[in-house]
């Protein structure tokens, strides 16, 4: 089953994809409005044959926004606490250059969240 993981953000989203038991960073989508974002996610779902979507949720106001977004696109939610910090540490340890780390940070965080989701099930 192909699963799309999403690291929710107000102006950009990190996407990760799992086909089996391993999650990999896919891309970062920058957007200006929710309609554009939903359309672009629908394109990724169709292009990649996604069967399930998991949106990472954190605490506080962003967590509430993430939950509402997940409901809007029919996704399940999973705790993403500290996934961005973990992504930063792991990408530094892997020797990924700073520019690439910055560009793909949200996709790496989505991959970590999605991998944690896969490992928990």
Q: Give the list of residues 6+ apart from residue 18 with CB closer than 8 angstroms, or none.
A: 2, 3, 5, 24, 114, 115, 118
CA gyration radius for the chain?
A: 13
Domains identified in the chain, total number: 1
Q: What is the CATH number of the domain that holds 66?
A: 3.30.420.140
More confident residue, 24 or 95: 24
Using 50, 70 and 90 to split pLDDT, how confident is the model at 106?
A: confident
Averaged pLDDT for residues 48-73: 92
pLDDT tens sequence across 66-82: 999 999 999 999 987 65
Reduced to 3 states (helix: H, G, I; strand: E, B; else coil), residue 90 is helix
Spell 26-39 as b/e; 16+ CB within 10 A means b.
bbbbebeeeeebee
More confident residue, 70 or 91: 70
């Amino acid at each position: 089953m192909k699963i799309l993981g999403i690291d929710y953000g107000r102006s950009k989203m990190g996407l990760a994809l799992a086909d089996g038991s391993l999650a990999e960073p896919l891309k970062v989508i920058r957007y200006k409005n929710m309609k554009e974002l939903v359309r672009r996610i629908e394109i990724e779902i169709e292009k990649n044959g996604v069967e399930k979507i998991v949106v990472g949720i954190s605490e506080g106001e962003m967590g509430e926004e993430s939950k509402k977004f997940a409901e809007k696109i029919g996704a399940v939610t999973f705790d993403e606490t500290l996934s961005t910090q973990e992504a930063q540490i792991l990408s530094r340890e892997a020797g990924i250059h700073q520019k690439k780390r910055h560009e793909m940070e949200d996709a790496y965080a989505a991959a970590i969240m999605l991998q944690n989701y896969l490992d928990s099930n």
